[in-house]
Structure 1
């Protein structure tokens, strides 16, 4: 594995997690990992519906992410392939439950991505969103989900992507708790303000976006990304959507910018 200083570009990384206080587990249903050494990140959103069967909806997500990290450090290969990481983590995750998943690694000047369900990422350049990963779902609010119980999916349904990046790009990765509550325009404003103030730090941006998502999720009236999507399916509601909120921010920079 190349050391960071030998790479042409690296991901400067930060994260922030706000569990939904209304859920039975204080840990929430989301889980994530950051491996700066492998320039790889991942997150998962456990399906809350398992709570109706007395199962912690977040345990599957946590074990899946733990097994991703175990796979990364067990192999220590020059190139990380997110699809292979996901497949091996999935095969070693045997608890009841299910989750979405998104794993991203930076290889030279490209993001190698594997995604399952409605977690995902956006790519911003010069303060503008230029790419958004698509949602994988069977029908509205029923995303693809990894698991070994009846009705769940396996990694063969994952969508693989390769996206080119440049120095200065910002990648925002999140669970649906972020994307259901924060409009793209709000994210663009946050990025531009921090950039113009000279403090576009991944940890700070992740915190600001997570807190914005939480604030928006508690609004009882008005539109949100979730309500707009719901209305297109004939499901009318108003306000935000309370949920666990995970945000990982990657700023694409030359190694000397942070080493």
Structure 2
């Protein structure tokens, strides 16, 4: 994988044949009957070529606080913050910082935002274990690294939590055909990256439809979350931390799939 620190965005020049990011999302709340909105949130801003996900931290429920409200307000404020930046030159960390400062709800949330610039460059920022995978030719070429304080306790924005300065910034050159998969903890706690890679390889040669791929990945993650004997990433992390969790982790699952294509 490329080291983002070694990538010089300035070396990337505007191309007469620009790129376009086409995205779609699928959301499966863990309790669709009692809490249909769940604690996840996301946005897709086609005009500004920017997408984002947020995962409200469920432990606040013990104090009577619904972090889903915080996550939704944070994502809504991200969309508003995009209005203050020029199309094709969005800075995700600045967007996230402005959104954070304007979010007043109680609770906390992880987050991940990615944009495609006019220079054929992908800028990303994330806090906690919401993150992304970048695929090229159906192979993983880059992925975000989760920020965790301890097992099952990620960095998070919000009440008495991490400030937006802790957000990690990364950047990658984009080429036509690249596929981005953004997700919340419910995705990455239940599926390994190579399982998502396998889905792409199985669909090799098919016309990519982001909405169908997002749904397929979400459903696979949901099935894993309900499997009490699955060798999930969460179960493995639990064992490494000296805990005894087995199987998947029941959680809200948000998946955003973005396909990089040549502009018409």
Q: TM-score if structure 2 supplies the norm length?
A: 0.89
Unaligned regions of 5+ residues in structure 1, if any? 1-5
Partners of 1:210 and 1:144 in 2: how far apart?
23
Unaligned regions of 5+ residues in structure 2, if any? 1-15
For residues 151-184 of structure 1, the C-alpha deviation after alignment (integer angstroms, 9 at most, x for no partner) is x111111111112221111111000101111122
Partners of 2:169 and 2:194 in 1: how far apart?
26
Q: Decide which of 35, 40, 57 is 1:30's aligned counterpart.
A: 40
Task: Provide the residue aligned with 1:177 in structure 2.
Answer: 186
Partners of 1:235 and 1:7 in 2: how far apart?
52
Within 5 Å, which residues of 2 pair with 1:158-173?
Answer: 158-173=167-182
DSSP-derived class of the 1:250 partner: strand
Structure 1 segments of 4 or more deviating over 4 A? Answer: 74-78
Partners of 2:195 and 2:165 in 1: how far apart?
34
Q: Determine if contact 2:48/2:87 at 8 Å carries over to the other structure.
A: no
Task: Provide the residue aligned with 2:26 in structure 1.
Answer: 16
Aligned residues: 249
Partners of 1:249 and 1:235 in 2: how far apart?
33
Task: Provide the residue aligned with 2:7 in structure 1.
Answer: none
Task: Provide the residue aligned with 1:207 in structure 2.
Answer: 215
Partners of 1:72 and 1:123 in 2: how far apart?
23
- Single out whichever of 183-192 and 207-216 deviates more from structure 2: 183-192
Partners of 1:30 and 1:82 in 2: how far apart?
19
DSSP-derived class of the 1:252 partner: strand
Task: Provide the residue aligned with 1:191 in structure 2.
Answer: 200
